[in-house]
A and B are shown apart, each in its own frame.
Chain A
Amino acid sequence: MSRQSNRTTDSKKMNSELFTLTYGALVTQLCKDYENDEEVNKQLDKMGYNIGVRLIEDFLARSSVGRCQDFRETADVIAKVAFKMYLGITPSVTNWSPAGDEFSLILESNPLVDFVELPDNHSSLVYSNLLCGVLRGALEMVQMAVDVKFAQDTLRGDNVTEIRMKFIKRIEENLPAGDE
């Protein structure tokens, strides 16, 4: 069911369709190549990870954010700067755990799923799982090990899309032995 949106010949908008359609073709191809949805989810996460470890450099080069002091700041930067820069949306940061190590990103709209409908035989497919991999890979490059997964997904009937991010640990930089 394609969403009605106002047609402008804005080239930025056209470009986002290129990305969205390409992503759709990729997921379709993965579904063909792998037998089950779990495998596809894993592949999407892996590919997202590979993209994330490179995307972080692009992000740091384009934005002028410095080092984040804590996880809360990280959450804000992800939601207000990164998502805005790359996907043009600003998710809200909510549902902080009492320990301050877990939060949710609530996306009112998800550009990846424009024009997308999940058929019945793919009910456990996490269509946008690439995003989880991207976030995980990007944060790993700035010394943070996180666990990212989708808690709610509009494609599966929920009202909003919710990404849950949990801080696992700080990754220590390993200096080669013998370095002073």
Chain B
Amino acid sequence: MADDVLFEFLHMEMVSHIYKDQASRGEMDKDRATCVSTLEGMGFRVGQGLIERFTKDSPSFKDDLDVMKFICKDFWINVFRKQIDNLRTNHQGTYVLQDNKFALLTQFSSGKQYLEEAPKYLAYSCGLVRGALSNLGMDCVVTAEISLMASCKFQVVIQKI
């Protein structure tokens, strides 16, 4: 039973390593975008695996909204130890999940100082959500934005084929 704190430390170190690594490889045009997509890709595979473990024995979901509610409640509780605070949708495939005290950002000091750096720490989680949804049959694009420290919004846009 790994303590929650271990994941947080590992995540912090992963982000730090990926960014340091890209910088040292000297390709300056390979900037934040690559780092973000690397982290997002890692989260994607983990999300796929996690959702399989979580939903192994549960019945299938009625519709997309049901899936999103599962993500907001059970998935978020298992992964980030709390529920999503607010779910909004336009009923046309776009969902916004708001977490007012995102577990991976609580260690940052509040205020505007580190807002610029925060997206680095959201990339992995976006991947987690995208991976989870992908294995539930929903292809989507997940982005995150943050306007106030520790409170962030994940936007899920379902790709209609």
State the A residues within 8 Å of B (CB): 7, 11-26, 28-29, 33, 43, 47, 50-51, 54-55, 58, 85-88, 111, 115, 130
Give the docked Cα–Cα distance between A111 and B46 (Å).
Answer: 16
Looking across the interface, which residue of chain A has its beta carbon closest to that of B10?
A22
Q: Which residues of B contact A85 (CB under 8 A)?
A: 3
Contact of A21 among B9, B50, B56 (CB under 8 A): B50
A-B contact count (CB 8 A): 90
Give the docked Cα–Cα distance between A20 and B1 (Å).
Answer: 10
Contact flag A26-B10 (CB < 8 Å), given A15-B1, A16-B1, A47-B17? yes
The answer to whether A15 and B4 touch across the interface, beta carbons within 8 angstroms, is: yes
The answer to whether A15 and B10 touch across the interface, beta carbons within 8 angstroms, is: no
Report A71 CB to chain B, min CB distance, Å: 25
The answer to whether B53 and A19 touch across the interface, beta carbons within 8 angstroms, is: no
Contact of A26 among B3, B14, B49, B81 (CB under 8 A): B14
Interface of B is mostly: helix
Looking across the interface, which residue of chain B has its beta carbon closest to that of A86?
B3
28 chain-A/chain-B pairs, Cβ below 8 angstroms:
A7-B57, A13-B1, A14-B78, A15-B1, A15-B4, A15-B7, A16-B1, A16-B2, A17-B49, A19-B7, A19-B10, A20-B2, A21-B49, A22-B7, A25-B43, A25-B45, A26-B14, A29-B38, A50-B13, A54-B9, A55-B5, A55-B9, A85-B3, A86-B2, A86-B6, A87-B2, A87-B6, A115-B49
Report A112 CB to chain B, min CB distance, Å: 9
Looking across the interface, which residue of chain A has its beta carbon closest to that of B128?
A18
Q: In residues 32-85 of chain B, which contact A (Cβ within 8 Å)?
A: 38, 41-43, 45-46, 49-50, 53-54, 56-57, 77-79, 81
Contact of A25 among B7, B46, B53 (CB under 8 A): B46
Is B145 engaged at the interface, CB distance under 8 Å to the other chain? no
Q: Which residues of B contact A50 (CB under 8 A)?
A: 13, 16
Centre residue among A17, A19, A28, A50 by max chain B CB count within 10 A: A19
